[in-house]
Structure 1
Amino acid sequence: MINFEGKRKGMGEKEEKEVMELALQAGHLLLENGAEIFRVEETMDRICRHYGVRSGNAFVLSNGIFATAGSERERYFAKVQHIPVSGTHLNRVAAVNQLSREIESGRYTVEEASQALEDIRNMPGKRKITQVLASGVGSAAFCYLFGGNMGDTLCALCAGLVLYLYVLFVSAPRLSKIVGNIGGGALVTFICSGFYLLGAGAHLNFMIIGSIMPLIPGVAFTNAIRDIADGDYISGSVRMLDALLVFFSIAIGVGMAFSFISRVTGGALL
């Protein structure tokens, strides 16, 4: 829970509403792109303080913002926005964070800040080819760091490339989070097991561990711990549960694939 104390007096009802809408939209944009609770609160605080909202309150959860303003001297404002738990886009988080500081330095009117927020919302994401290549390189790097040799690393590279093609064109647009991550874990296991049985890789465990890393919600898990450490227990618990659900789904997919391959090959992987 935060309380905004502004500097300016005599704001009209329309101006105050515009400021609160601006702060709420900035908080929405941060929260839906993976920002921590304290960052959302701080950004809303900066915006409201600069534009002179004398009273206001915001209650921020991991999937919603409750914002109010008003006192005996001011008109009342109240609004609730539901923000589903979704992916992480740190470039947008950084852009909104920078915008709040530029607002505080006096570089934007309310209208200009609203347009800047809309521009940030419409920022293009990374190209799909870039995401696929990053997944492959990341998988290979993690495999090598965990102790894999050059053959294992190349196998993890291929598995990571195929995995993110699956994520972009099958899992994300068509499957739920649980089913998609189960399928991703199983896909990686099948690919790495195939390379292992063909003799292309020597350490199946390192190949699989490296290849599933693109599925791991590391930012969400870290933010959950930070929220809990900051005393935001509800939001931290929700994010922690969401991250653990992904972990368990991946583990189920890997286990199912191992079980199937072991039955087909008569335990050749053991």
Structure 2
Amino acid sequence: MEHDKDCKTDHQSENESRLGSDDDDNEEDHNPHQREILNAAMQAGHILLENGAEIFRVEETMDRICRYYGIESGNSFVLSNGIFTTSGNEREEIFAKVQHIPVSGTHLDRVAAVNQLSREIEAGLVSLKEVRLRLDEIKIMPGKSKSMQIFASGVGSACFCYLFGGNIRDSVCAFVVGVLLYLYVLFISAPKLSKIVGNIGGGALVTFICTSLYLLRMGEHLNYMIIGSIMPLIPGVPFTNAIRDIADEDYISGSVRMMDALLVFFSIAMGVGLVFGVFHRLTGGALL
């Protein structure tokens, strides 16, 4: 009897040991899967924030991905140039990651692509592996060609000039100036100059060319020509996002974006003022 009891005890201990080993294996299998989910959410947030999305959109998308794939303790804190992600409780592995994201331009095609992907995730149409592949594709999604950007700048300048009150001749001049402006932006300002210097130069270039065309009698309303031609430099999306962030009580991020937009406005105004000052001296005030 004692021998049978000892055998039964040994057999029970062996089963408990095997069960404990199985639990450890499941936990080890679960941890890499959890990290993969959190890294995917982090990558999605990085793409959104880097390409001009609002703070609430970034946080909402990251939370949506974590929640759908079973991460209950995920928590993200998003600023205008950084993302902090943490998770972990008694049932989930502790995870923490920080990414710095410099304030850059706007690429709304990538933002729309990530939004569409998040909807497909919630609908259960995409596996986690496919999510990482899709995010890698979105990250390298090409923007508009340089020729298209230059042409769009010219058309936009002409349309704004006409919208603000210019006539056909003013709009034609604004189209030419808009094309020249974006040639400067793409080949000189963006690759070689800082944001402040580049925008001062852009404002000065627009004012100089518009004033020259006006003095040559090719345009009739100098103010409409300058206003229309300078619109491609205006940071409309960052300024709008700054207001939305402040309205959503993301005061730090909204203030940073607002300051960045106001700095661009100030730099453009400085370039315009410098050229007007030079022409004012040269013409003895006749121009203004």
Common fold by TM > 0.5: yes
Asked if structure 1 preserves the Cα contact closer than 8 Å seen for 2:162 and 2:171, the reply is yes
Distance 1:240 1:73 in 2: 41
The answer to whether 1:209 aligns with 2:212 is no
How far does residue 212 in structure 1 lie from its aligned partner after superposition? Answer: 0.4
Contact kept? 2:63, 2:75, Cα under 8 Å: no
Number of equivalenced pairs:
262
- 1:44 aligns to 2:55 (yes or no): no
Equivalence for 2:177: 159
- TM-score under structure 1 length normalisation: 0.95
Q: Please point out which of 235, 238, 242 is paired with 1:224.
A: 242
- Counterpart Cα distance in 2 of 1:73 and 1:45: 18
The answer to whether structure 1 residue 84 and structure 2 residue 114 are counterparts is no
Name the amino acid aligned to 1:95. A
In the alignment, structure 1 segments of 5+ residues that lack a partner are: 1-8
Sequence identity percentage = 72
Q: Could you state the TM-score of these two structures normalised by the residue count of structure 2? A: 0.89
Amino acid at match of 2:240: T
Q: Could you give the per-residue CA deviations for residues 26-77 of structure 1, whole angstroms, max 9, x where no partner exists?
A: 0000000000011101111111111111211100001100000101221100
**Is the partner of 1:42 in helix, strand or coil?**
helix
Say whether residues 1:16 and 2:34 are aligned partners: yes
The aligned counterpart of 1:170 is 188
Aligned pair 1:246/2:261, yes or no? no
> Do 1:46 and 1:101's aligned partners in 2 also have CA atoms closer than 8 Å?
no
Contact 2:48 / 2:114 at 8 angstroms: preserved in 1?
yes
Among 68, 73, 76, the alignment partner of 2:86 is 68
- Structure 1 counterpart of 2:205: 187
8 Å Cα contact 2:63-2:76 kept in structure 1: no
Cross-structure match for 1:6:
none
CA contact (8 A) 1:166 1:184 kept: yes
Given that residues 190 and 257 in structure 1 are in contact (C-alpha distance below 8 angstroms), is that contact kept between their aligned partners in structure 2? yes
Task: State yes or no: 1:259 paired with 2:274.
Answer: no
Kindly state the Cα deviation for residue 107 of structure 1 after the two structures are TM-superposed.
1.6
Provide the C-alpha distance between the structure 2 equivalents of 1:183 and 1:242, rounded to a whole number of angstroms: 17
Q: Report the residue type matching 2:86 in the other structure.
A: T
Instruction: Supply the distance in 1 between the matched residues of 2:266 and 2:49 (Cα, whole angstroms).
Output: 24
Instruction: Name the residue aligned to 1:5.
Output: none
Aligned to 2:276, what secondary structure does the other structure show?
helix
* CA distance in structure 2 between the aligned counterparts of 1:268 and 1:135, rounded to whole angstroms: 31
- Correspondent of 2:160 among 131, 138, 142: 142
**Residues in 2 aligned to 1:216 and 1:237: alpha-carbon distance in whole angstroms:** 18
In 1, Cα distance between equivalents of 2:284 and 2:183: 30
More helix by share: 2
Query: Following superposition of structure 1 onto structure 2, how do residues 83-102 of structure 1 map, counting pairs within 5 Å?
Result: 83-102=101-120
CA-to-aligned-CA distance 1:63-101 (integer Å, 9 cap, x gap): 100000101221100000000110000000000000011
In the alignment, residue 63 of structure 2 is paired with which amino acid? D
Larger deviation, residues 153-162 vs 101-110:
101-110
The one of the two structures with greater contact order (alpha-carbon pairs below 8 A, sep at least 6) is 1
Q: Counterpart amino acid of 2:215?
A: L
Report if aligned partners of 1:144, 1:153 keep a CA contact under 8 Å in 2: yes
> Deviation digits for residues 156-199 of structure 1, max 9, x if unmatched?
11000000000000000000000000000000000000000000
Report if aligned partners of 2:197, 2:267 keep a CA contact under 8 Å in 1: yes
- Structure 1 residue 248: deviation in Å? 0.2
Instruction: Report whether the alignment pairs 1:105 with 2:127.
Output: no
CA RMSD across the alignment: 1.2
The question of whether the paired residues in 1 share the 8 Å contact of 2:84 and 2:98 is answered with yes
Aligned to 2:75: 57
Distance 2:102 2:34 in 1: 27
CA shift for structure 1 position 109: 1.6
